[in-house]
Amino acid sequence: MLVVGLTGGIGCGKSTVSKRLAENHDIPVIDADKIAREVVEPGQDAYNKIVKYFTDKIDYLLLDDGHLNRAELGKWVFSHPNDLKILNNITHPAVRYSIFKNMGYYYVKGYRLVILDVPLLFEAKLDMFCGVTISVICERDIQIERLKIRNPVMTTEEIENRINSQMSMDERVKKSDYILQNNGTLTELYEQINNVVMKIKPSLMRTSIEYFPLFGLVSATAIVLSKVIYAKFDANFSESGENDKKKGKKVA
């Protein structure tokens, strides 16, 4: 089974792409946002940790029914980067566990392809478990305008904070196997989606072979190892480039 990591900056149209893949291409989608909401329901371990840490920091952290006030929590963490890291450290392990459980379910059901829809795919290093990664991007002014329409109560500063808290578009493009440009019409976006699906969808023969335990294990291990090696190489290359800059060397 090919796991396809789908990501994109806030307001770039990732949800539109995810919905299209599910409805028009019959590809199951594991939605990390949905899972993230489920793991912070009242009574969950992540919920208890969030309440304990943020109660003294955020007024009106909880709604009348006991659920987290996601709007206030988001407003706080996106203007306090250290607390955003704390929040991620609380929620990410629970989200990962649920994601892997869902991946196992679709594998057993015999699907050839599954979409792993994660806003922080690269930041959470979940791309390590994906055979292919796709990013949805758009121009920044379009991104800001969409967010204003979606959340009219948010100020421009709050929108900028949310965008800046995420990986830059350039870095996202660098790390992705495929890019979907969402600056135009839905028709143009859908055509790009069709083209990518045609390129990445595994053949029935390949899927059948990978359902033999040994071949499946080898394939999955090869994907993870290749991602780890690439990540280490990229990190070393970037560090070398920074050192050369500090020494005054010209970097091509």
**HSE, side-chain direction, 13 A CA sphere, residue 160:** 3
pTM reported for the whole predicted model: 0.71
In a domain, 73, yes or no: no
| Domain region containing 235 | 2-28+111-242
Is it the case that residue 139 has pLDDT exceeding 50?
yes
In a domain, 67, yes or no: no
Residues 64, 23 contacting (CB under 8 angstroms): no
In a domain, 99, yes or no: no
Residues 143, 169 contacting (CB under 8 angstroms): no
DSSP bridge partners of 68: 62
In a domain, 187, yes or no: yes
Helix-then-strand count for the chain, H and E: 11, 5
Of 119, 105, 234, 229, nearest to 167 by C-alpha is 119
d(CA 35, CA 65): 20
In a domain, 15, yes or no: yes
Backbone angles phi, psi at 153, to 5 degrees: -85, -10
**CATH number, position 189:** 3.40.50.300
In a domain, 134, yes or no: yes
Q: What would the pLDDT profile of 56-89 be if each residue is shown by its tens digit?
A: 999 899 999 999 999 899 889 988 999 999 999 9
Q: What would the pLDDT profile of 81-138 be if each residue is shown by its tens digit?
A: 999 999 999 998 898 899 989 998 998 888 889 999 998 899 888 898 898 999 999 9
Number of separate domains in the chain: 1
pLDDT range class, residue 225, cuts 50, 70, 90 = low
In a domain, 82, yes or no: no
In a domain, 43, yes or no: no
